[in-house]
Structure 1
């Protein structure tokens, strides 16, 4: 097991610049990273054009894209809930959760 090195100020700055700030939840800064958009798109397309259209053929296109998008939204919200849980547990254990500008 390797020890992790501290994050540099330059790495933090690049991370903040690569995100779209959305606000704060329970005092924790929430931002949208481009990778979440890619994940959302991949989940939606793979369900709408793949799994759902093959499992239930013969329906209009929107019939597949609606549920595909809904599943992607729930998936992204579960990622958000998971990460917020990390912040809450960290605070309860006395670890400072920084809210970057």
Structure 2
């Protein structure tokens, strides 16, 4: 078993000065913590993996392909591989768990 604490992951991510911290990588999936502060621009490009986002905290909108929805704590969003997607209108610091399958390269 592997277990993680969100506060420790956030501290490690912040200490590394990056928006993304991958903290678990297995044969069929990887998991990371993604952070965007209020007003930030999301630099993401489409990925070659399916993704699931679980919003841990914050508020924003996300556009996946041609669809847009508002997200907040507890929101879950599926993004198919290869589809353009971005968070925008980030009104509260956003912290998101990201699951990639297969693992992010």
Do these two structures clear the TM 0.5 threshold for a shared fold by scoring above it?
A: no
Structure possessing the higher relative contact order (Cα contacts under 8 Å, 6 or more residues apart): 2
The structure with the largest alpha-carbon Rg is 1
The structure with the largest helix share of the pair is 1
TM-score by length of 1: 0.24
TM-score by length of 2: 0.23
The structure with the largest strand share of the pair is 2
